[in-house]
Amino acid sequence: MTKYQYVRVYIDYRRVISTDHQTSEWIIDEIKKIVPSCSTKGEEYDLHDRLVEFSLHKLDGKDGRVMHHIIQLLCEIGFEPFSTDTKGGDRRVDFRRKTE
């Protein structure tokens, strides 16, 4: 059976949702290397208390550039963008990466 990891990036809301807590933590670490003032809010955790959803804040006015950088980073580590949406007031990109 094919299995996937999934990530959704809300560009305008600066929000990321992931099925893999390691990917969530990696994204935050990568952004903090570029924008040390970055912080998270609205964190959500899975049933094992692992981070799976968060919003990015304090991006030094680089909000759009940071969110597009996340898209680039995900593509570089093998996530495939498979869906986009610009309706409803926010741009969104969905990614998947096959794990098996």
- Residue-wise DSSP of 36-93: TT-EEEEEEE-TTS-EEEEEEE--TT-HHHHHHHHHHHHHHTTPEEEEEE--TTS-EE
* CATH annotation of 4-98: 3.30.1410
pTM here is 0.93
Q: What's residue 23's pLDDT? A: 97
Tens of pLDDT, residues 51-76: 999 999 999 999 999 999 999 999 99
